[in-house]
Structure 1
Amino acid sequence: MSVVDAWRPETAAGGFTRDDEDVAFYTRINALIHSDMVVVDLGAGRGSRYDEGSAPFRKSFFNLQGRVKQLIGVDVDPAVLEHPYLDEALVTEPGARLPLADQSVDMIISEWVLEHVEHPQEFGAEVQRVLKPGGWFCAITPNKWGYVGIANRIIPEKVKNALMRRVWPDRPDMDVFPTYYRLNTLARTRRMFGDGAWEHCSYSANGTPKYHGNRSFGFALVGLFQTFVPSLMRTNLFVFIRRTA
């Protein structure tokens, strides 16, 4: 039994914890989508959430293919071409224009991607360019002022790599990308999408404790820390922004 299973026994009832941030994120996504939408998964990757180890519920709940008009995956990593549940996969270059027409998309989903955005101004301009009026930009990302965001920014790279092997031994090397945290506060997203053409419905929240090394003491320590931190230091940002004009 894993530490998460021990501390979150409800995982056995469906394969997710009571504070699963991905389930919380996709609950709202599922509430927003409808069958005639064109949806872009920006930073779709290879579709690792659909690997053999994923719970059946998570695979079906997160999979939007067949429930929207078109699901397009866009990524700088050619691994997106191997994604099993996309209608179309597109490879782009970092900082380049998105390979999508102006006002052609009803929703952009960006999951654990904003922390990797090096040029936020260009990124925000492209999101605004391709979204239709009334379209949604939906993202989940670490909070810059949460413990994960702070650690990523202050720990030297060599030390960080060694530490990550201890606290997250199962992390695949292929999923490691540079981080910048230039678009990772609620205030920053409001400034980026703040010209009067956006409705902001974003918030911060903690999720299931991570980076505990699969040790009970580590899980308890992270959980205790998350319980008492102020809202500014909650672990994750849930970004839901609607283009109004």
Structure 2
Amino acid sequence: MTVVDRWRPETAAGGFTRDDEDIAFYTRVNALIHPEMVLVDLGAGRGSRFDDGSAAFRKSFCNFQGRVKHVVGLDVDPVVREHPHLDEAHVIEPGGTLPLEDSSVDIIVCEWVVEHVEHPQEFADEIHRVLKPGGWFCALTPNSYGYVGISNRIIPESVKDRLMRIVWPERPHEDVFPTYYRMNTMGSIRHAFGDDRWSHHGYTANGTPRYHGNTAIGFAMVAFVQAIMPPPMRTNLLVFSQKRDIAETASLNRKKAA
């Protein structure tokens, strides 16, 4: 039994905790999809949430293949070609153009990727280009003002990897990529995406405590820190931004100019 199983005994009833950020995030994604959609998994990776160790409910809940018209996976890592639940997979260059037509996508899901974006405005512009009017950009990412975001920015790179192996020993080493945290606040999301082109419906939330070294005292300490943090300093950002149509954007611009 892991420390999470001891502190979150409800995990045995379905394979997820009461504060599982993935379940919270994908609950809203599931509420947005319909069968005629084209869905892009940006940063799809190898599909680790479908590994043998994952709970059956999680595998089905986070799998959109067969529930939407087409699922496209994009990642900088060629391992995306091994993802088991994509209709189409592409390897992309960091910061490069997405291999998608203009206004061809209904919803983009982006899990634990935004913190790795080096050039926020170019990233946001490319998301805007490929989404249809009314399309959704959905992202789960650490909050810069949460304990994870603050730690990542202040801990020197020379010790970060060694420390990660101590506080999160089960994390696969191949999943470690450079982080920038340049659009990991609600303000920076709104700045990059722009209120004239997007409506924003995201929020901050704590998730199941991590980085506790799989110890009871570590879990308790992280849980306490999360509990006392005010909303702006909660651990994660759950981003749900909808692309405005041309008429709506034009109307907002006219109001600004008036």
TM-score (norm 2): 0.94
Point out the more displaced range, 158-167 or 8-17. Answer: 158-167
Task: Specify the alignment match of 2:169 in structure 1.
Answer: 169
Aligned partners of 1:12 and 1:158: how far apart in 2?
38
Task: Specify the alignment match of 1:149 in structure 2.
Answer: 149
Aligned partners of 2:195 and 2:146: how far apart in 1?
27
SS in 1 for 2:166: helix
Task: Specify the alignment match of 1:89 in structure 2.
Answer: 89
Structure label with greater radius of gyration: 2
Point out the more displaced range, 12-21 or 166-175. Answer: 166-175
Deviation at 1:233, TM superposition (A): 0.9
SS in 1 for 2:74: strand
Could you tell me which amino acid in structure 1 is paired with residue 54 of structure 2?
Answer: S
Deviations 1:40-92 (A, max 9, x none): 00000010111111011100100000000000001111010000000000111
Percent sequence identity is 69
Could you tell me which amino acid in structure 2 is paired with residue 130 of structure 1?
Answer: V
Aligned partners of 1:229 and 1:30: how far apart in 2?
29
Unpaired segments ≥5 residues, structure 2: 246-258
Aligned partners of 2:50 and 2:222: how far apart in 1?
27
Work out whether 1:186 is the aligned partner of 2:186.
Answer: yes
CA separation of 1:134/1:10 partners in 2, compared to 1, >3 Å: closer, same or farther?
A: same
* 8 Å Cα contact 2:121/2:193 also seen in 1: no
SS in 2 for 1:128: helix
Unpaired segments ≥5 residues, structure 1: none
Work out whether 1:77 is the aligned partner of 2:72.
Answer: no
Deviation at 1:162, TM superposition (A): 1.1
Deviation above 4 Å: which 4+ runs of structure 1? Answer: none
Aligned partners of 1:76 and 1:225: how far apart in 2?
34
Deviations 1:175-204 (A, max 9, x none): 010000001000111111214121110000
Task: Specify the alignment match of 2:122 in structure 1.
Answer: 122
Task: Specify the alignment match of 2:248 in structure 1.
Answer: none
CA separation of 1:195/1:18 partners in 2, compared to 1, >3 Å: closer, same or farther?
A: closer
Aligned partners of 1:117 and 1:178: how far apart in 2?
9
Aligned partners of 2:198 and 2:168: how far apart in 1?
37
* 8 Å Cα contact 2:47/2:84 also seen in 1: yes
Task: Specify the alignment match of 1:232 in structure 2.
Answer: 232
Aligned partners of 2:15 and 2:122: how far apart in 1?
38
Aligned partners of 2:221 and 2:95: how far apart in 1?
38
Deviation at 1:9, TM superposition (A): 0.3
Task: Specify the alignment match of 1:4 in structure 2.
Answer: 4
SS in 2 for 1:90: strand
Aligned partners of 2:195 and 2:24: how far apart in 1?
28
SS in 1 for 2:31: helix
Q: Aligned-residue CA RMSD in angstroms?
A: 0.7
Could you tell me which amino acid in structure 2 is paired with residue 97 of structure 1?
Answer: T
Could you tell me which amino acid in structure 1 is paired with residue 198 of structure 2?
Answer: W
Could you tell me which amino acid in structure 1 is paired with residue 193 of structure 2?
Answer: F
* 8 Å Cα contact 2:133/2:243 also seen in 1: yes
Aligned partners of 1:196 and 1:95: how far apart in 2?
23
